[in-house]
């Protein structure tokens, strides 16, 4: 919702979002995108009514304004393991560039406005199809597993593909997404990837 919307428009948006959520629930079969769609419209509805009391910009942003969660990443200590891995070191760096592009291009503040739905969906797909895919290939190549994701991400900072500050900002937002997913029953695949990235056991 933008700052110029009136109270009636915000209330109408609130009602409309819950109507769409109900339609998706009743007419679509269970799937990741069904649950994400329902969750997105519910969050959009909550954001709409929230605007009645607190007018603020909810457009997608490249940098966070404020964040609810604070995450950490481990110190990178796997350089020798990386250089002695089955996967070539240059291939690891190539995959780091792909993951870093996701982190550097990450958009915040996507869940307050239903007009961000397509962008939010694309970003969630990227978590599974881009970030998880490349982290998994690196982990497999060094003889590790999904448990090594936080250390691998730390390596991306070590090799200066992305700043530690940026990684923490994105991971903080991913933790918020994970929290929403627990409340709204997001797909198990997405939730599993988020847990691997964040080191949630």
**Mean pLDDT (whole number) for 171-176:** 94
Task: Give the pLDDT mean for 128-157.
Answer: 97
User: Measured between alpha carbons, how far is 170 from 17 in angstroms, rounded to an integer?
Assistant: 27
Tens of pLDDT, residue by residue over 176-201, are 999 988 988 889 999 999 999 999 98
Write out pLDDT tens, residues 45-102: 565 555 544 444 556 677 776 678 899 999 999 999 998 999 999 999 999 999 999 9
List of residues 6+ apart from 109 with CB closer than 8 A: 58, 59, 60, 61, 64, 65, 116
Q: What is the pTM of this model?
A: 0.72
Average pLDDT over residues 141-163: 96
Q: Give the whole-number percent of the chain exceeding pLDDT 70.
A: 70
Instruction: Round the average pLDDT of the chain to a whole number and report it.
Output: 82
More confidently predicted of 69 and 30: 69
Q: Which residue has the higher pLDDT, 50 or 25?
A: 25
Closest among 141, 142, 159, 147 to 81, alpha carbons compared: 142
Is pLDDT above 50 for 1? Answer: no
The neighbouring-strand residues paired with 103 are none
Average pLDDT over residues 120-127: 94
Is the confidence at residue 115, as pLDDT, over 70? yes
- Beta bridge mates, 61: 108
pLDDT band of residue 123 (cuts 50, 70, 90) is very high
**Burial profile 9-27: b = 16 or more Cβ within 10 angstroms, e = fewer:** ebeebbeebbebbeebeee
pLDDT value of position 15: 73
Model pLDDT, residue 37: 62
The Cα–Cα gap between 64 and 73 comes to 18
Give yes or no for residue 143 having a pLDDT over 90: yes
Q: Is the pLDDT at 175 greater than 90, yes or no?
A: yes
Share above pLDDT 90 across residues of the chain, in percent, rounded to a whole number: 54
d(CA 111, CA 183) in angstroms, rounded, equals: 14
């Amino acid at each position: 919702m933008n700052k110029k919307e009136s109270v009636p428009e915000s209330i109408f948006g609130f009602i409309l979002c819950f109507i769409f959520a109900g339609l998706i629930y009743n007419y679509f079969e269970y799937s990741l995108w069904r649950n994400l769609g329902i969750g997105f419209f519910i969050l959009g509805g909550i954001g709409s009514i929230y605007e009645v009391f607190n007018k603020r910009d909810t457009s997608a942003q490249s940098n966070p304004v404020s964040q609810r969660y604070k995450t950490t990443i481990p110190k990178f200590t796997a350089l020798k393991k990386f250089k002695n891995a089955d996967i070539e070191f240059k291939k690891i760096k190539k995959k780091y560039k792909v993951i870093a592009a996701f982190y550097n291009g990450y958009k915040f503040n996507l869940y307050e406005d239903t007009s961000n739905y397509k962008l939010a969906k694309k970003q969630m797909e990227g978590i599974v199809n881009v970030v998880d895919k490349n982290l998994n290939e690196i982990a497999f190549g060094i003889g590790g597993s999904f448990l090594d994701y936080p250390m691998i991400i730390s390596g991306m900072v070590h090799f200066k593909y992305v700043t530690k500050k940026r990684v923490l900002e994105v991971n903080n937002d991913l933790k918020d997404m994970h929290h929403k997913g627990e409340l709204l029953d997001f797909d198990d695949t997405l939730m599993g990837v988020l847990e691997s990235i964040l080191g949630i056991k």
